[in-house]
A and B are shown apart, each in its own frame.
Chain A
């Protein structure tokens, strides 16, 4: 049985990889513009799927349902935060940045603020944020490969490194865009099948979104009888301000993440950017709407089939997970019966273990493995492109070697990808924190640096170079300091933890940009007109205080 499971999982993972690599090779990039932004011809619905795959990382796929299951209502900050940010992005930034028409986010900041210093700071921030984020993805892929192929997690991480370096370096963005469409389809199917089966098992209703509300209420009832706080009771695991700070950090971080924004450069127009944002959230929402259902069903099964059972008669699946140290069972009161608080379950195993717990069969378990790998690899691929474009384009080409040939820049881009992947992989062998925590730090950094710089860059024509340079530096400093201070427990405001640090970073950066800009010279007339111009569609141009219509 173990062997059959191994072969099925391996077979499904290899099959899906063959598809991704095949697509990447088929679309092998030949030109620089293809490599970075896919020649700007991806239709909005497909671009939406690619954004979805890029977006849904190992943290969303593997970690989120488990987080909601363990935190109850408080875990919903992740659900709302990681979806609500798309409104800020699509209303306030994406179409405008598309009209400005540059390859990367640091390039927009450098050109809009007419400052090489700002460009370099933005490129360095992009590298820090994307690199932090990718460490989490690589260690996530290590856990999945390690658990399912029954090899050491470190070996699993190394396998992931090789795969990511290969298709990110050779496919470029175009390869990745179409690869990610395939990855989205595989990961969403892999996520939905177990939820639908569990819904049928527990409620006899094939639509989990309709049926799990009753289960949530029933869970509250069970908790009440056990003397626990109700599953849906608000703010049991953190203050209300932590909930809102985390939600804000995740939303603003979403709107400022370079590897997500760059997706909107791959569409043809501002109109296409708006539709891409809408499609992206629809496809992302499918997973985010299902995660709380996943959480409720898993908790229900655990409460009914595991909790309250004699400890020496637990189902067979518990043993494999206890061996990984991610599940711990201890009979504190010595009555031979397992209580809920005697069960220590890591939120990262909930999604991976539930198909086993619910007896869904080897095919579904193998499919979950392939889906989790798709989530980890697709996000890591997008992150690597961001890192490579920041270095090869914004630092190497725009600052160090303005005369570099296309071929030369492409080579530098590829070398950067391989180097960054290997380096991130080495750190991922011994990750500096829990995966979801590392990911939240990346969001906090993005909301403390890019979100204010982009928001004011697009909407406030008076914002200038000195303002944005000091703003990004202050935002970076405040966010990092708060993360470290809250982590060590020495300093906290209103119970806000390290994961909510972005709210302070963003506030500090916005205030700094406004104050410094007002105290220094206003941008030139030309720059200010360029900013106002972003409020009009491509056919309209704002020049000399008037709007001009361009009829082809």
Chain B
């Protein structure tokens, strides 16, 4: 085991948390935000033909959720890589951790 510089460890968790906050803000806007203003968001969506508030409830929000989850998985992988995390080592470590229980 090797000690990591405090500043670097903090930077890691700050970076992770920053993305969680960004993603959850988008989540809040496309779901609760649109519902809050549903009455005034009834204009037609071009091509698809829905009223906008209905489109967001039935498709827009769900597609956003799915995309956010995949972006999160990808971004987290990249952050881990940047800080030198090796997934194979993770697998070994977490396997040992559950077996000793």
Binding site for B on A (CB under 8 A): 33, 40, 73, 76-77, 79-80, 83-84, 86-88, 90-92, 98-99, 101-102, 209-210, 213-214, 216-217, 220, 232, 234-235, 240, 243-244, 247-248, 268-271, 274-275, 277-278, 281-282, 285, 288-289, 292, 535-542, 546-552
18 A-B pairs within 8 Å (CB atoms) are namely A79-B62, A86-B65, A92-B20, A214-B48, A217-B49, A235-B39, A244-B36, A247-B35, A268-B91, A269-B90, A271-B87, A538-B89, A539-B86, A546-B9, A547-B6, A549-B4, A549-B84, A552-B89
Say yes or no: A278 contacts B66, CB within 8 Å: yes
Say yes or no: A538 contacts B94, CB within 8 Å: yes
Chain B residues with CB below 8 A from A277, complex form: 69, 73
B11 to chain A, nearest CB (A): 11
Q: Considering the complex, give the chain A residue whose CB is closest to the CB of B88.
A: A552
Say yes or no: A546 contacts B94, CB within 8 Å: no
Q: Is there a chain A Cβ closer than 8 Å to B2's Cβ? A: yes
Chain B residues with CB below 8 A from A102, complex form: 101
Cα–Cα, bound, A77→B58 (Å):
9
Chain B residues with CB below 8 A from A243, complex form: 35
Please report the number of residue pairs spanning A and B whose Cβ atoms sit closer than 8 angstroms.
Answer: 186
Highest count of chain B CB atoms <10 Å: which of A77, A80, A209, A282: A80
B75 to chain A, nearest CB (A): 10
Selected from B45, B68, B72, the residue in CB contact (under 8 A) with A213 is B45
Chain B residues with CB below 8 A from A248, complex form: 32
Cα–Cα, bound, A182→B36 (Å):
39
Q: Considering the complex, give the chain A residue whose CB is closest to the CB of B32.
A: A244
Chain A residues with CB below 8 A from B94, complex form: 98-99, 101, 268-270, 538
Say yes or no: B66 contacts A285, CB within 8 Å: yes
A341 to chain B, nearest CB (A): 22
Say yes or no: B72 contacts A90, CB within 8 Å: yes
B100 to chain A, nearest CB (A): 9
Highest count of chain B CB atoms <10 Å: which of A99, A102, A216, A542: A216
B 17-62 contacts with A by CB, 8 A: 17, 20, 23-24, 27, 31-32, 35-36, 38-39, 42, 44-45, 48-51, 53-55, 57-59, 61-62
Q: How many residues of B contact A (CB 8 A)?
A: 60
Say yes or no: B90 contacts A538, CB within 8 Å: yes
Say yes or no: B62 contacts A80, CB within 8 Å: yes
Binding site for A on B (CB under 8 A): 1-4, 6, 9, 12-13, 16-17, 20, 23-24, 27, 31-32, 35-36, 38-39, 42, 44-45, 48-51, 53-55, 57-59, 61-63, 65-66, 68-70, 72-73, 76-77, 80, 84-87, 89-95, 97-98, 101
Say yes or no: A275 contacts B53, CB within 8 Å: no
Say yes or no: B50 contacts A101, CB within 8 Å: no
Beyond the given pairs A240-B38, A536-B13, A549-B84, 6 more chain A to chain B contacts, judged by CB atoms under 8 angstroms and listed by A's residue number, are A80-B61, A101-B98, A102-B101, A232-B42, A285-B63, A539-B85
Q: A76-B54, A271-B77 are in contact. Are A87 and B59 (CB under 8 A)?
A: no
Nearest 5 Cβ contacts at the A-B interface: A76-B57, A547-B9, A213-B48, A278-B69, A213-B49
Chain B residues with CB below 8 A from A538, complex form: 89-91, 93-94, 97
Chain B residues with CB below 8 A from A548, complex form: 1-4
Say yes or no: A87 contacts B87, CB within 8 Å: no
A-side interface mostly: helix
Say yes or no: B49 contacts A84, CB within 8 Å: no
Say yes or no: A535 contacts B16, CB within 8 Å: yes
Cα–Cα, bound, A77→B38 (Å):
12
A443 to chain B, nearest CB (A): 16
Q: Considering the complex, give the chain A residue whose CB is closest to the CB of B53.
A: A234
Q: A213-B45, A216-B49, A537-B85 are in contact. Are A91 and B58 (CB under 8 A)?
A: no
Cα–Cα, bound, A548→B17 (Å):
19
Cα–Cα, bound, A33→B101 (Å):
11
Cα–Cα, bound, A541→B12 (Å):
13
A390 to chain B, nearest CB (A): 17
Cα–Cα, bound, A268→B99 (Å):
12
Q: A213-B50, A214-B49, A268-B95 are in contact. Are A87 and B90 (CB under 8 A)?
A: no
Chain B residues with CB below 8 A from A73, complex form: 38, 53-54, 57
B44 to chain A, nearest CB (A): 7
Highest count of chain A CB atoms <10 Å: which of B31, B66, B76, B97: B66
Say yes or no: A274 contacts B59, CB within 8 Å: no
Say yes or no: A549 contacts B1, CB within 8 Å: yes
Q: A79-B62, A536-B12, A537-B85 are in contact. Are A271 and B57 (CB under 8 A)?
A: no
Q: A234-B38, A247-B32, A289-B59 are in contact. Are A550 and B93 (CB under 8 A)?
A: yes
B38 to chain A, nearest CB (A): 4
Chain A residues with CB below 8 A from B55, complex form: 213
Highest count of chain A CB atoms <10 Å: which of B1, B32, B49, B54: B54
Cα–Cα, bound, A83→B66 (Å):
9
Cα–Cα, bound, A282→B90 (Å):
25
Say yes or no: B65 contacts A551, CB within 8 Å: no
Q: Considering the complex, give the chain B residue whose CB is closest to the CB of A288.
A: B62
Highest count of chain B CB atoms <10 Å: which of A99, A268, A549, A550: A549
Q: Considering the complex, give the chain B residue whose CB is closest to the CB of A280.
A: B69
Q: A79-B57, A235-B38, A540-B9 are in contact. Are A216 and B50 (CB under 8 A)?
A: yes
A462 to chain B, nearest CB (A): 17
Say yes or no: B38 contacts A292, CB within 8 Å: no
